Chain A
Amino acid sequence: MTHAFLIARQEFIKYVTRRGFWLSILMFPLWIMIVIFVPQWTGGGHDNAPHALTIVDRSGGFYRDAILQQVAQDTEDRELAAAAHYAAAFVDFGQLPRSTAQMLAKPDTVQARRAYRSLGMVVLVDEMTAALKPGAPFFGPPGARFIYVPPSRELLAARGAALDFAVTRTLRDGDGPLDIDAVVVIPEGFGPDSADGAQFWRGKNESDLRALVTDSLTLALRLAVAQRYAPVLRNRDMLTPAVIDTLSGPAILDIRNPNRAGGRETSMDSIVPIALAIILFVVSVMNSSVLLQGVVEEKSTRMIEVLLSCATPREITSGKLIGVIAVALATLLIWAAVFLALITLVSQDQAAMILTSLKAVVSLGTLPLLIVYFLCGLLIYGTLFLAIGSMASSLADAQSLLGPSMLILMLPNLLIAPVMRDPNGPLATAFSWIPIYTPFFMMLRISSHPPLWQIWATAALAIATTAAMIVWTGRIFARHVLTTERPPALGVLLRGLLGRRG
C-alpha cells in the first residue's frame, strides 16, 4: 500500500496546485451565495400576497402580543417607507408641516416611526395631497405583509396529538377564503429558561414569517429577562444589552411540517439534504473529471508506463482513488469554511440557521451513513471515470464514452423535486435501490426518516457495488491503459471484466 499512498499524495498535490482547482473551489460557494441571496435582494423570493399567521399562546399572551407588535411595526415601516419614497418624488416638502417633512425626510429613525404612529396614514395622505407637485400620481399605500388570524376554537382547545391534527387542518384548509401560512404554538411556561421552544408550523409560504417570529420572540425574551431581573438588582445598570443577550439568547424555533410523520423538522430540512446531494454530485464530477483527464494525459505522455514499472495496476488505481477522496475532502472543508465565512459576513442569522439545520441533519446517528454514502458516491463516479480514462486514447475518445455515462449519472438531479415532495414514496424508494443512485437518493431522504432496514440494506448494497467497481476498474485499467487503440467494444469489455480473455 506504500505505493498507493505515494501515488495518492502525488495525485493530491497535482490537483490542488492547479489554478483551475482553486478557481472552482472559490466559485462554488459564491454561486451558492448568489442562489440564496440574490432572490432575497432583488425581491424575487417574495410574492406580494400577505402572509397569514395564527398564534396559539398558552403562556399567557405576552409572546403573542410581542409578535403582533412586530407585525404592526412591519406594516408601519412599509407604509412610512413607501410614503417617504413617494414624497421625495412628488411632494413639495416646503408646503408640508415641519414635523411631517422631517419624518418623511428621515423615515428610518425612531423619531420618524413615533411621529408616523401618532399621525396615522389617513392624516399623512391628506397632508401630502395638499402639498403635491403638479402632475403627481395617486398615492396608494402598500398593504400589510403579514396578517394575524386569531386561532379557531378547535386550535385553542386542542392538546397533544389533537393539536397536531388541528394545526394540520388549519394549514390545509385555511380560514375561510384565506390561506394560513404558519401557525405558532407557544407552550405553557415558555420563557428564557424553558426547555421547550415555540413551535413554528410551516405552511405554503412561510419563510418571511419565520424570520419575523424569530426576531419578535428574541426581543420578547430579552424584555422578559429585563423585567425579571430589574426588580432584584440594586444596580440596574448591570443589565446591559450584552448581559440581557447572554441571559435570553436568540429564540430557537421548533420548526414543524404538517406533511411529515411527527411534524418535526429542522428549519432548512429540505434545503440541507438537497444541498448535500448536489454537493456530492458536483464534488464527484469535478474531481472525477480531473482524474479522467490525468489518466488520459498520463497515457499520452507515457508516464503511465513509468508508473506501471514501479507499481501494480491495483496500487495505481487505489492511489488515484485515494487521491481523489483526499482532494474531495479538502474541497468540502474549504467550501464549508469559505461558505460559512461569506454567509456570516452577509447575515449572521442565516449562518446560525444553517448551522442549526446542519446539526439536525448531520447528527451522530446519521454522520457515519452520510460518510458512507459520500464515499460510495464519490468512488462510483471515480471508478467509472478512471475506467473511461484508461480505455480512451484521447480526450475526444473519453468524451464519446463520457456522454452516455453522464446522462445516466445525472438522473438523480432531475428527480430531486419529486423525491423531495414525497421522500418515502415509491419513486424515491425504488431509485434508492439502484446502487449507483443510492448515495444521492439516500442523502435526499435521510432527514425524512426512511425505514431503518432500508437505510442499512441500501448502504450495504452501495458498499458492495463500490467494491465491485473498484475491482472491475482495476481489471479494465490493467488491460487497456497501455493500449492506444480506440475503446473496446462492449462485449470485449464485459469479457475482460469477468476475467475472460477477449
Chain B
Amino acid sequence: MSARMTEPVVALSHITKRFGDFIAVNDLSFALARGSILGFLGPNGAGKTTTLRMMLGIFPPDTGTIRVLGRDVGQVRERIGYLPEERGLYKRMRADAAIAYIATLKGMRRGAALARARELLKEFGLGDFAQVRIEGLSKGMAQKVQLLSAVVHDPEFVILDEPFSGLDPVNQTELEAFIRKLAGEGKTILFSTHTMQHAERLCDRLLILAKGTKRFEGTLEEARGLLPRRARIGGEGDLSFLARLPGVTRATPPAQGQPHWLLDLKEGDDGRALLAACFARGVPLTHFDVSPPELHDVFVALVGAGPQKAAA
C-alpha cells in the first residue's frame, strides 16, 4: 500500500479554538482513515460545526495543527465537498447553474460542471427541474440540490453537517443510500449529527464531542462497551428477587406499557446468572434478553459525564 493510501485523510492534533473567553473546541485530536465514515456526534454547542469549519479552512485554529489529505487545507479545498448545516443557495439561480457554480469554484470547467450538474439532477429525479430557480423548488428538492453541489466535483473527502435535518423519512433513507454509495466509491465521509440511529446505521467510527472536548472516539461496538449490558426479563410470579442479585446494579419493575423488569448489569456481566437464578426458583419466563446499550444511552451518559472520566 502506498503512503498516500495509508496516511489519514484528516489529522487534527491538539486543536483549540476560542471566541473571546468562550472555548469552542478544546485540545481536540483525531484522525480519519481513507474510505471510512465517521459520525461526528455531540449536543448543540458541542463544537462540531466549529471543528468542521476549521477542517475546511474557514477558521484557523488558535493552537494545534490540521492536515487534510496530507496537506494544509488551503491547498486541497478543491478535493473537499461540504454540505453546511443550514442550507444556502442563491434563491434566484437555476438548479443546474447553482450546482455548476460551486463546481467551478471547486476547479471544474464551466461547461463540464453544467453537464455534470444536469447529469446528477437527472440521476436524483430532478431532471425536469434543472432550469427551475431554487426559490421555485420544494424544500426537499432544494436540499437535494445542495447535496449535489457538495459532491458534483467528485471530492475525495466529504463533510456533511447535519445532513438529515429537515428531511422526511423517505428522503432520509435515500440520503443514507447515497452516503453508502459515496463510501463505496472510496470517498471518506465525515458527518455530524445528533440523531443516533443514522450514526448507528452508517458509521464505521464515532467521535463524540461535548463542550468542545472529545468524550469518545472509536467504533460503535466500543461505544456500546462503555456502558454495562441491560437485561429485560418477564415472567409469572414475583420477580423482585432479581433486584437483590449481585450482578444487578439497578432494577426497574414493570410499569404501564413496560411489561418487563429492566435490569442494569454490572460491567462484564453477561446475564447468565440472572437466567440461572430464575431457573433455580422455578419461575416460568415469558421474556428474557440481554443486550448491549443503545448508542443513545451511551451518548447521554458520555455527554453528561466529565471529559476526563469518559474519554476513550
Contact = CB atoms under 8 A, between A and B. Distances in A.
Interface of A: 3, 6-7, 10, 14, 17-18, 298, 301-312, 482, 502
Given A10-B101, A482-B58, A309 B77 contact: yes
Nearest to B55: A309
Interface stretch (B85-93, B212-220, B221-229, B268-276): B85-93
Nearest to B82: A309
Interface in B87-145: 87-93, 101-102, 104-106
A17 B91 CA distance: 13
- Most B CB contacts (10 A, CB to CB) among A14, A303, A309 go to A309
A383 B82 CA distance: 28
A370 to B, nearest CB: 34
5 contacts: A6-B104, A6-B105, A301-B86, A305-B82, A306-B102
Given A17-B92, A298-B88, A308 B104 contact: no
B200 to A, nearest CB: 28
Given A301-B89, A302-B88, A308 B105 contact: no
A10 B80 CA distance: 21
Nearest to A502: B20
B266 interface: no
B105 A3 contact: yes
Contacts of A502: 20
Interface string B48-78: 0000010011110000000000000010010
A302 B92 contact: no
A376 B128 CA distance: 46
Nearest to A305: B84
A482 B84 CA distance: 12
Smallest CB-CB A-B distances: 7 pairs: A303-B88, A302-B88, A310-B105, A301-B88, A302-B86, A309-B82, A308-B58
Nearest to B19: A483
B149 interface: yes
Contacts of A18: 92
A14 B92 contact: yes
Interface in B20-50: 20
Interface string B200-242: 0000000000000000000000000000000000000000000
Contacts of A306: 82, 84, 88-89, 102, 149
- Most A CB contacts (10 A, CB to CB) among B53, B74, B90, B105 go to B105
Contacts of A14: 90, 92-93
Given A14-B92, A17-B92, A307 B105 contact: yes
Given A309-B56, A309-B58, A303 B90 contact: yes
Contacts of B77: 309-311
Contacts of A312: 57, 74
Contacts of B104: 6
B105 A311 contact: yes
A23 to B, nearest CB: 16
Nearest to A310: B105
Nearest to B149: A306
- Most B CB contacts (10 A, CB to CB) among A10, A14, A310, A502 go to A310
Contacts of B59: 482
Contacts of A304: 88
Nearest to B83: A306
Contacts, number: 62
A450 to B, nearest CB: 45
A17 B86 CA distance: 26
- Most B CB contacts (10 A, CB to CB) among A3, A298, A303, A502 go to A303
Nearest to B50: A482
Nearest to B159: A309
A10 B20 CA distance: 35
A57 to B, nearest CB: 65
A482 B77 CA distance: 18
B90 A308 contact: no
Given A309-B56, A310-B106, A303 B89 contact: yes
Given A10-B90, A311-B77, 11 more contacts: A7-B105, A10-B101, A14-B92, A14-B93, A302-B84, A309-B57, A309-B80, A309-B84, A312-B57, A482-B53, A502-B20
A304 B102 CA distance: 12
A309 B59 CA distance: 10
Nearest to A311: B105
Contacts of B74: 312
Contacts of B20: 502
A312 B59 CA distance: 10
B215 to A, nearest CB: 25
Nearest to B86: A302
B101 to A, nearest CB: 6
Nearest to B134: A301
Contacts of B106: 310
Contacts of A309: 56-58, 77, 80, 82, 84
B109 to A, nearest CB: 11
A255 to B, nearest CB: 49
A388 B20 CA distance: 21
Contact of B58 (A3, A10, A17, A305): A305
B10 to A, nearest CB: 14
A6 B77 CA distance: 15
Contacts of B91: 301
B48 to A, nearest CB: 14
Contacts of B89: 301, 303, 306
A306 B151 CA distance: 12
Interface in B147-163: 149
B155 to A, nearest CB: 11
A472 B283 CA distance: 78
A305 B150 CA distance: 12
A306 B105 CA distance: 10
A18 B93 CA distance: 11
Contacts of B58: 305, 308-309, 482
A298 B90 CA distance: 8
A304 B77 CA distance: 15
Contacts of B101: 6, 10
- Most B CB contacts (10 A, CB to CB) among A6, A298, A305, A308 go to A305
Contacts of A302: 84-88
Contacts of A310: 77, 102, 105-106
Contacts of A6: 101, 104-105
A306 B148 CA distance: 13
A8 to B, nearest CB: 12
